[in-house]
Amino acid sequence: MGLQGVKAVFFDLDNTLVDTAAAGRRAIEEVSAQRVLQSKHHYDEREARCVCEKVQAKLLKECHDPAKMCITDLRISHWEEAIQETRGGEVDRNLAAECYFLWKKTRLQHLILPEDTRCMLTELRKMVRLLLLTNGDKQTQREKIEACACQPYFDAIVVGGEQKEEKPAPSIFHHCCDLLGVQPGECVMVGDSLDTDIQGGLNAGLKATVWINKTVVKPMNTSPVPHYVISSVLDLPALLQNMDLLNCFFLVGGTFI
């Protein structure tokens, strides 16, 4: 039985259900100050910060082709390049690998599916089918999924890196519909990315798209335009209960804007 004509909800993972950005910051701090660059290899604070800032910039611009290089080698190369750009000299592959594996381990340790989110998913699943739809390298995303132990809360999990196309391509959304035995017009996409989650849901003709905007600032000239905006994924059940009444309004933190 659905909610207001909704039979399935698709959730993004990173920065929607789990705070990947915060986990990444904690991981960078660990590499910079605690156990590697400063304390073990005697980088000063400025050098360590510079290396880490360069790595973060490379991650943001990352373009990964798994047919050419595995994600581990690619990300070790980010650290190699950042270290060399900061200090010069020969490439230190061992130090780069040490930094990468500590960063990866620490980030996974801090990827937590909060208890209130677990409860929300459990209750919501009693009424609609739930699917996790995440873009990214298949190894990286599967490791995140395992780290935050979110598998039991979903009827299906789809990783973009395992499909022919990722969000925002309509094909991956239609594949999700087929997995659950539902039509696009019966599904809602929930995510923090306008470019992938919202645009993809619109491209696929889903019933509704819900943008997680944690800034709690009224969106101005948003493009693409989501059907609804909430400040926390925990606001979703109330939105679904009132979706037909809300229609074209935005709901942020439980209030109309």
CATH assignment at residue 221: 3.40.50.1000
Judgement on whether residues 146 and 75 belong to the same structural domain of the protein: no
Question: Considering the chain, what percentage of its residues have pLDDT values greater than 70?
Answer: 91
Judgement on whether residues 142 and 235 belong to the same structural domain of the protein: yes
Residue 253's pLDDT band (cuts 50, 70, 90): very low
Judgement on whether residues 140 and 241 belong to the same structural domain of the protein: yes
Judgement on whether residues 44 and 99 belong to the same structural domain of the protein: yes
Judgement on whether residues 50 and 26 belong to the same structural domain of the protein: yes
Which DSSP letter does residue 194 get? Answer: I
Rounded Cα distance, 49 and 156, in Å:
40
Judge whether 78 lies within some domain.
Answer: yes
pLDDT value, residue 255: 40
Ordered strands of the 187-191 beta sheet: 156-159, 129-134, 8-11, 187-191, 208-212, 228-230
Rounded Cα distance, 118 and 197, in Å:
21
- Write out pLDDT tens, residues 149-188: 999 999 999 999 999 999 999 999 999 999 999 999 999 9
Residue 88 phi, psi (nearest 5): 75, -165
Rounded Cα distance, 257 and 253, in Å:
10
Residue 42's pLDDT band (cuts 50, 70, 90): confident
**Given 50, 80, 109, which residue is the final one in a domain?**
109
Of residues 207 and 89, more confidence is placed in: 207
- Write out pLDDT tens, residues 47-76: 999 999 999 999 999 988 888 999 999 999
Q: Which residue, among 224, 217, 16, 230, has the nearest Cα to 121 in the 3D structure?
A: 16
Rounded Cα distance, 80 and 248, in Å:
49
Judged against a pLDDT cut of 80, whether residue 239 lies above it is answered with yes
Judgement on whether residues 174 and 146 belong to the same structural domain of the protein: yes
**Given 56, 78, 109, which residue is the final one in a domain?**
109
Judge whether 2 lies within some domain.
Answer: no
Q: Which amino acid is at 202?
A: L
Judgement on whether residues 67 and 121 belong to the same structural domain of the protein: no
Judge whether 3 lies within some domain.
Answer: no
Judge whether 31 lies within some domain.
Answer: yes
- Write out pLDDT tens, residues 73-118: 999 999 999 999 998 888 789 999 999 999 999 999 999 999 999 9
Count of beta carbons in the 10 Å neighbourhood of residue 165: 13
CATH assignment at residue 80: 1.20.120.710
Question: Considering the chain, what percentage of its residues have pLDDT values greater than 90?
Answer: 75
pLDDT value, residue 256: 38
Residue 257's pLDDT band (cuts 50, 70, 90): very low
**Given 90, 109, 128, which residue is the final one in a domain?**
109
Judgement on whether residues 77 and 170 belong to the same structural domain of the protein: no
Judgement on whether residues 203 and 220 belong to the same structural domain of the protein: yes
Judgement on whether residues 92 and 128 belong to the same structural domain of the protein: no
Structural domains in the chain (count): 2
The rounded mean pLDDT for the chain is 90
Residue 164 phi, psi (nearest 5): -65, -35
Judgement on whether residues 71 and 118 belong to the same structural domain of the protein: no
Q: Which residue, among 90, 16, 104, 95, has the nearest Cα to 59 in the 3D structure?
A: 104
Range of the domain at 192: 8-18+112-256
Judgement on whether residues 121 and 225 belong to the same structural domain of the protein: yes
Of residues 204 and 40, more confidence is placed in: 204
Residue 244's pLDDT band (cuts 50, 70, 90): low
